[in-house]
Amino acid sequence: MQDKIMYIPCTDATSANGTSLQGYIEDVTTQQLIEMFGEPLKGSADGKVTMEWVIETQITTEDGDADYGVFTLYDWKGSAPDIDSTEWTINVGGTSKRDLWNAQRAFELFEKTDIRYTSDIACLAQGTLHDLEVA
């Protein structure tokens, strides 16, 4: 058995408390994000974030141990385009660079496997363990 990862979208931003900017992912469309993780949460009360996805992760290792994390994907001060099919750079928040790595793996799974054809919306958020080696 190889290491596997599960992506679990959150319905509120509570589990993102304590996260901060870890990096960026370029050339993303809002349409892709919705296909990957479902509809975004509404942004922050101060208006600096207009949309975000909060994704908990679970990595299961070959020996059965589980490692948990959380990352956020969000626009910052209006960086998301008005048209969902326009590419932009999304901010990735987390508590460590490992969370950035987990977000990058999600995009690799989406691009390099047939996972995108399994569902019209939230294809990575179906409670499925994905092989990390594929990414």
Tokens of 2: 């190889």
Predicted confidence band of residue 125 (pLDDT cuts 50, 70, 90): confident
Asked if residue 93 belongs to a domain, the reply is yes
Predicted confidence band of residue 123 (pLDDT cuts 50, 70, 90): confident
Question: How many angstroms separate the Cα of 90 from the Cα of each of 28, 30, 33, 62?
Answer: 7, 9, 10, 32
| Tokens 């509404």 belong to residue | 42
State percent of the chain over pLDDT 70.
98
Residue 104, beta-bridge partner list: none
Asked if residue 47 belongs to a domain, the reply is yes
pLDDT at 134: 60
Give residue-wise pLDDT tens across range 91-116: 999 999 999 999 999 999 999 888 88
Distance CA(135)–CA(131), nearest Å, equals 7
Asked if residue 21 belongs to a domain, the reply is no
Number of domains in the chain: 1
Note the pTM of the prediction, 2 decimals. Answer: 0.90
- 3-state SS assignment for residue 26: strand
End-to-end, the C-alpha distance of the chain in Å comes to 16
The total number of residues shown for the chain amounts to 135
Asked if residue 19 belongs to a domain, the reply is no
Asked if residue 46 belongs to a domain, the reply is yes
Q: Which domain holds residue 69?
A: 4-14+27-131
Question: How many angstroms separate the Cα of 82 from the Cα of each of 7, 9, 75, 122, 123?
Answer: 26, 23, 12, 21, 23
Distance CA(36)–CA(75), nearest Å, equals 16
